[in-house]
Structure 1
Amino acid sequence: MKNWARANKGFLLFLMLFGVFRTAVADWNPIPSSSMHPNLLEGDVVFVNRLAYNVKVPLTDIVISQTGEPQRGDIVTFSSPRNGTRLIKRVIALPGDRVEMRNEQLIINGKPAGYGIASEAVENIKGVGNLTAVRVDESLGDRSHAIQFLPQIQARRNFDPIVVPPGQYMMLGDNRDNSEDSRFIGLVPRALLIGRAERVLASADITGNWMPRTERFGMSLYPKQ
């Protein structure tokens, strides 16, 4: 074993440096579920900038220094405060924000979010079948993004006003009626943020024919407003 290690020390050093790079600088994250429809699809692989908010000790949640502030509308990977599972959701409310939801409409600091003209799409729910999804553009301040609702299923469409404590964030999925997010797992401490998802690196239709979706390769997750 020692002889093998000596003979392959260059390769082992590469693996070690690669592991440090992935856990401290940049990473990629496969999308396994529909919770971010219509913006992220199952089979997308997104590039994650791990230095967007924090510098951490590799393989830990120990923050060495802060490099930037999460912004409302950012798509973020983080460890679930409930069980440590890696999740990807959108930042909806920042520390100090007063946020509530009334019949799907967000109200942040007393100002209702804006919603565009609705359109319809087909959403397939495993074990249920095809449902009609209602898609709209949601505006939070000067940023907007597409979201969707599934009126036919039971979902948490209301919550009372809360003030987000210092150092914590509210995360919601874009597929509002089919997402396990801060409505269920609670607010997310900054130390659990992993990084900011920037763009789709590659994509394949893993729920269908597994063909590459080349039109999504390199797609930015933040279209120009």
Structure 2
Amino acid sequence: MLSDPIFILSVIGMSSCVIFWMKDTIKSSEEENFITRNISTVATLFGLMMLYSIFINAGDLGIILFIGSIIAFLVLMVGVVIGNSSIIQTSRGYFIPIFLIFVLRTFIYEPYQIPSGSMLPGLQKGDFLVVNKNSYGLKVNRTGKSFVIKNDPEYGDVVVFIPPHNPVPYVKRLIGMPGDSVRIINKQIFINGKAISREFIETETTTITKRYRDSSGNITTRDMDVTIDLYYEEHGNKKYITRNIRGENIQYPSEWTIPSNHYFVMGDNRDNSNDSTKDVGFVPRDNFFGEADYLFMTWECWTCMPYFSRVGKIN
């Protein structure tokens, strides 16, 4: 994100707007040019460009809030030094809410929207989760070492993390700890030789869209009817429902031994999840940035209406 030309241009543009506004306020000149007359509109356009860059690059809004807090604070200090009440009042009105949002989002809770169906049936695409940022220790960035309250993830936690192969946050179920041996036989998970407790619920038939990569490397999709088995699974102190597609991934080819300071994660939608059994691999401890605590809204698409019927604590 920081190397994106759109982001760089938006930062330069926003900074220029702040400088022009300060100069105009200090001079208190009655002469106006195009920029001073339309400073709010221009700043809004650059702000929208910045948000667009964050969205397409899956950037961390916390960084923007941090930068915004610093800029607003510096402008406030300039106003105090030169004794300009207009600059003081305006910058204070920006600094206080931006800084409070930054603190709340960085150190307490952060909203996160699930982008896929890898956690079905409990969590679905479009669900908005509240991520507890201090579950595994406080940190400014999403990755890196915690500097306060270094709690470790526990079995069964719904964790939000940055996978090693992709800067986009993922949400999965924590299955294995450092040093554990994980083995999957006919969709039954064994941790250090002991099977994770599960109980059959029911079977259902549905239509899913499968993605395939042909010999040329092109990805195609195809709808197919499948039979799904639902299970209650109990791991650690968490009890949740998993989803298994009959005929898919009958047996994984090997056993995994989790290295030190790494974890093994899986989606509850076991046959349709990119997790530690596939590209994600083992997740470093420093890549966890929170535990998903609550579901507060579901918004499946931009043209859909959000709904709140599934609000509640996440198991």
* TM exceeding 0.5: yes
1:74 partner amino acid:
D
Write out per-residue CA displacement over residues 139-177 of structure 1, whole angstroms, 9 at most, x where no aligned residue.
225532100012255x48414233322211101000010
Instruction: Identify which of 143, 155, 159 aligns with 1:76.
Output: 159
Q: How far, CA to CA, are the matches of 2:105 and 2:253 in structure 1?
A: 37
Aligned length: 219
User: Contact (CA 8 Å) 1:123, 1:133: kept in 2 or not?
Assistant: no
Match of 1:143 in 2: 238
Match of 1:190 in 2: 285
- Could you tell me the TM-score, scaled by structure 2's length? 0.63
Which aligned pairs between 1:81-100 and structure 2 lie closer than 5 A? 81-100=164-183
**Considering only aligned residues, what root-mean-square deviation do their CA atoms show, in Å?**
2.4
Unaligned runs of 5+ in 2: 1-17, 23-74, 76-86, 211-220
Q: How far, CA to CA, are the matches of 2:142 and 2:93 in structure 1?
A: 20
Match of 2:194 in 1: 111
Q: How far, CA to CA, are the matches of 1:141 and 1:68 in structure 2?
A: 16
Asked if 1:57 is matched to 2:140, the reply is: yes
Match of 2:272 in 1: 178
Q: How far, CA to CA, are the matches of 1:60 and 1:9 in structure 2?
A: 31
List structure 1 segments (4+ residues) > 6 angstroms apart after TM superposition: none
- Could you tell me the TM-score, scaled by structure 1's length? 0.86
Instruction: Identify which of 128, 137, 143 aligns with 2:222.
Output: 128
Unaligned runs of 5+ in 1: none
Q: How far, CA to CA, are the matches of 1:83 and 1:159 in structure 2?
A: 24
Higher strand share: 1
Higher helix share: 2
Instruction: Identify which of 102, 123, 128 aligns with 1:40.
Output: 123
Identity of paired residues, percent? Answer: 29
Please tell me whether Structure 1 or Structure 2 has the larger radius of gyration of its CA atoms. 2
Q: Which protein has greater RCO, CA pairs closer than 8 Å, 6+ apart?
A: 1
Asked if 1:215 is matched to 2:309, the reply is: yes
Q: How far, CA to CA, are the matches of 1:115 and 1:215 in structure 2?
A: 27
